[in-house]
Amino acid sequence: MSARNRVAGLVGGFRQTATMFLLAVGMGTIPVQSAAAQSSVSPEVVVDGLSFPWAVAFLPEGGFLITERDGALKYASPEGAVSDVPGSPEVFSQGQGGLLDIALAPDFDQTRNVFMTFSQGSPEGAGTSVFKAVLVPVGEGYSLEDGETIFRGNNRGFGGRHFGSRMAFKDDGTLFLTTGDRGDGPRSQDTMDHSGNVLRINQDGSVPSDNPFVQTSGYLPEIWSTGHRNPQSAAINPATGELWTVEHGARGGDEVNRPEAGKNYGWPEISYGRHYSGGKIGIGTSAPGFEQPLYYWDPSIAPSGMAFVTSDLYPDWQGDLLVGALRGQHIAKLSLDGTEITREEKLLTDLAARIRDVRQGQDGMIYVLTDDDPGKLLRLVPQATQ
């Protein structure tokens, strides 16, 4: 890994300047540009009064489905009127657990299938599960019918830490699902544990026949990649069709990864962060058999929610990656050259809000969920270049 990827930890001290400059880092340089030099955006409130919203999906007929961590699913009309959507699963709502991600099936127009992830309780503790249901119009709102839990992770544990829980559909219709290590790092290296992995399943919960470990003893067949800490961001790169994830580090070491089939991303054997106590994690920052991140942050921004920008409404952002920051209370805009991250900018720093989700809507606009009670769904309205 080039030392250039450490630039994220250096950028904060240079943010007050509005000029463009180069930071010399290792063998290369990374240009760092003030957000003021780019086309600006104005956050516009679409929905207010949400209770710790976690994820948003866009209905093709207009309006939004929004999960709330306590277990409620909300429908918001295009005008912002909010109603409950009954039929959600019973959730274990504690700490980071609850009703989490939501995604419409790729063939939603025909099937009306909706997928949600949630922390599901059991006598052995709570783990990450996937719920599937049919969205049915009822009056001026919706309900969920024929709901079933199609996948139950064995990443059971007590307490409310590290469920992961972002989803992304591959171009073949299979579903990627991230899981966290449940606050117990070594579980991410246990290949018979769903903790700390990227998983891949079919839409009925079965295992795709071409998963990397289907024929390998000692591995759970759902596993796509291992050695992750707590990935709360996942999206398909539209330029390549590949999955990208962003995961929480400990004290530093948040990572951008491009999880490949059968590969191990190192947690907790290698990390660019440290324990919260300040102690060293694992054996260092690299070791044979473990993949390097594309980028990392130190100090941590606590990433959650990500989107690739393809919209013509943001000409300066096309091809960029937006990552929401909880602890950092901003959006990190990462410029890409293929798989290399060449520049980082901080957006919405004046909002003073934890960013839980970032998505590009079917109207081409960027939408943001703030992690609060009351939380908001915001639309980023492009402004003219100064």
Residues designated as active site: 162
Nearest CA to 5 out of 336, 267, 379 is that of: 336
Nearest CA to 97 out of 48, 158, 152, 143 is that of: 158
Q: Note the maximum CA span of the chain.
A: 62
What's the distance, CA 204 to chain centroid? Answer: 22
Determine the Cα–Cα distance for residues 197 and 170; give it in Å rounded to an integer: 16
Contact partners, residue 266, CB within 8 Å, separation at least 6: 227, 282, 287, 290, 291
Judging by beta carbons within 10 Å of its beta carbon (0-12, 13-18, 19+), is residue 13 exposed, middle or buried?
exposed
What string of H, E and C letters represents the secondary structure of 27-71? CEEEEECCHHHCCCEEEEEEEEEECCEEEEEECCCCCEEEEECCC
Hey, is 362 helix, strand or coil?
coil
Pairing relation of β-strands 73-76 and 366-370? unpaired
Structure tokens at 25: 């880092």
Question: 């104005």: which residue's tokens?
Answer: 42
Whether 176 and 234 have beta carbons less than 8 Å apart is answered as yes
